[in-house]
Amino acid sequence: MRKRVGKRDGSSGHSNAQTAARVHRKEGSPSRSWLKRGLFGLVIILLVPFSIMMLSDLIQHFVYTHRISVPFFVDLSRPADVSLNHTINMYFTSEEGISLGVWHTVPESQWTEAQGKGLAWYQKSLSDGSPVFIYLHGNTGTSSLGYHVLVPDYRGFGDSTGEPTEAGLTTDALYVYNWVKARSGNSLVVIWGHSLGTGTFLIFSGVFFDGVILEGAFNSAWQNLPVHPFTWYYWKPPGLGYFLQEPWAKNKVVFPTEENLKKMRNPILFLHSEDDHLVPLPIAQQMYEVAVSAQNAERVKLKTFDGSLGYLHNGLYRDPKLPGILKKFVHSL
């Protein structure tokens, strides 16, 4: 019996020790618990801004990779699918990793002969003596005037790869120009920039062009652009504007139009609608005056279109007098 009693006494002592240990742990656990919570909170504070920034980049990467090209359901590599049997699609590598989709339309007099022809035939046709237009943005309709027309897509637009930037557009445009000049022989090469395209070609103030057409030209030094010119490329999740940085915020655009006009020594034709809702007419008139001061009124012309016609910023191609205006300018070169 003593043995059993002694056993209970020992058990009781061991139990008391365990109880004391548990009490000690309970007394010490709050500090360690708060320490863990504090460290966890610090990690969250540090990671949340980084995660939000990375989330924006990941969303953009997903959208860039899987975005749908415009126009919808049109294979831009096959112009014949949209009844352009006199047009060929080409791809230029303006720099490593960048592929530019370019359409080349031949003059109307060659439409029949062009059907079924390959790239070599189109390249050779550039030196046939017909003027060559390099057009940035939109559809010119100048092929019916007897001109070649090359229309490159901006990087990141259509079936061209890459992200649009001011430096990138400048590189792409200069590459296309040099490519054409190397194959056009004695043919005139006219640069036609519309809207954003006017700033792109004006960067080449040290390059002499046979002629330059500036349609709806803007000047970032004299006006606040209503929207970032590359917003069409980006996508922003609805409702997250308070948390995610505008994805185009780091993509700065300058295009010093006025300074470049002062350096240009090329014949220039300004085309502008009086009701242009993005670039007010006074902006175009100011740029025209800068260009005239740098050259003279014989080499620089300004053609305005009545505001009652409703052309706004993108509708000058609808004017029936435009073909005659273009012909007159080309003949003066």
- Catalytic positions are 195, 276, 313
The answer to whether residues 131 and 148 touch, using CB atoms and an 8 Å cutoff, is: yes
Q: In terms of Cα–Cα distance, which of 271, 270, 269, 277 is closest to 313?
A: 277
Q: Which long-range contacts (CB under 8 A, 24 or more apart) does 279-283 make?
A: 279/195, 279/216, 279/217, 279/218, 279/223, 279/313, 280/223, 283/217, 283/218, 283/219, 283/222, 283/223
Q: In this structure, what token pair is assigned to residue 88? A: 């060929």
What span, in angstroms and rounded, lies between the C-alpha atoms of 321 and 332? 17
Q: Which residue has tokens 């112009």?
A: 79
The terminus-to-terminus CA distance of the chain in angstroms comes to 126
Q: In terms of Cα–Cα distance, which of 324, 320, 295 is closest to 309?
A: 320
Counting every residue written for the chain, the total comes to 333
Spatial neighbors of 220 by CB under 8 A, at least 6 apart, are 199, 253, 254, 255, 256, 257
- Compute the C-alpha angle 258/200/307, nearest 5°: 70
What span, in angstroms and rounded, lies between the C-alpha atoms of 155 and 74? 18
- In eight-state DSSP terms, residue 153 is P
How does strand 189-194 pair with strand 148-152?
A: unpaired
Q: In terms of Cα–Cα distance, which of 166, 168, 167 is closest to 155?
A: 168
Provide the b/e sequence for 63-101 (b: ≥16 CB within 10 Å).
beeeeeeeeeeeebeebeeeebebbbbbebebeeebebb
